[in-house]
Amino acid sequence: MDLRHTRRLFVPDRLKAGTPLTLAAEPAHRLIHVLRMREGDIIRLFNGHDGEFAASVTNLSKKEVALRVEEALRPQENGPDVWLCCAPIKKIHFDTMLEKATELGVSEIQPILTQRTQIRDVNGDRAYLLCREAAEQSERLAVPAIGAPVTLDDMVSVFPPDRALIVCAEWGNADPIWDALQQPALRAFSKAAILTGPEGGLTADELETLRHRPHTFFVRLGPRILRADTAALAALVCWQAIQGDWKTIG
């Protein structure tokens, strides 16, 4: 059965073929009012753990939306483990960055508060909803985690030593990203994080702090100064092309 064009829905429930499933209020609302499903329709479900399953809608009422989980369609595969550590920016651009970063396969998005960060608050629930919808539409099997905003110093102090940190620098000593991502020292890491600053970029003091951290790589994104959201997505595109899963066919 070809279900490639069947609608998809993220659910928090465990998924197993042959089991009934009653949706909670929020996914039930989306199934009825956003996806406009009817009894007997087939929908694809995923939860970030069990893979993707086909399910049939067995009951739609004001009191209950019930499904029957049918066959397993895909095993769980989460792809490369790459984070995006980014300073919050203006809402319309930050929303785009969240959505497109999800489409590009990030496993976690960590908002970073820097000296020049003007937007200090992040609505975590809204950010998660944007990422969840992007995951549903882009055929992902997991929704990226969304961290609470932290200062750059706090992030550096707890950053895991087994993850490479790739800093997008507008100036100073930095390698072209295409060259940096192919260096043996960077390719030795199976996990990475891409760090982008706010409008105005990172300060000289912040860059100097980062230079003292081990396993940190500074990259340039070409001859032009990119807007913060463009820089984040450009870096992720380069990562996926060189070190990520773009070498496979879905």
Same domain, 104 and 166: yes
Amino acid at 185: A
Domain co-membership, 125 together with 238: yes
Which of 56, 74, 92 finishes a domain?
A: 74
How far, in whole angstroms, is CA 106 from its chain's centroid?
4
- Are residue 57 and residue 152 in the same domain, yes or no? no
CB 152 within 8 A of CB 112: yes
Under DSSP, the state recorded for 170 is S
What pLDDT does residue 105 have?
95
Place of tokens 């989980």: 69
Residue 247 lies in a domain: no
Q: Which domain holds residue 102?
A: 81-242
pLDDT along the chain (250 residues), means of 10: 80 94 90 90 95 95 91 90 96 96 97 93 94 95 96 94 93 88 93 94 92 93 92 96 78
Q: Do 64 and 90 fall within a single domain? A: no
Question: pLDDT by residue (tens digit) across 71-84?
Answer: 999 999 878 899 99
Residue type, 40: G
Domain boundary (74, 105, 131) is at: 74
Q: What share of the chain is helix, strand, coil (3-state, %, to 5)?
A: 30, 25, 45
Structural domains in the chain (count): 2
236 and 175, same domain (yes or no): yes
Same domain, 105 and 229: yes
Q: What is the pLDDT of residue 81?
A: 93
Same domain, 141 and 42: no
The amino acid at residue 74 is R
Does residue 126 sit in the same domain as residue 158? yes
* CATH of residue 113: 3.40.1280.10
Among 31, 53, 74, which residue terminates a domain?
74
Q: What is the pLDDT of residue 2?
A: 61
**Exposure on the CB side of residue 113, measured as CA atoms within 13 A:** 11
pLDDT tens string 201-214: 999 999 998 998 89
**65 shares its domain with 105:** no
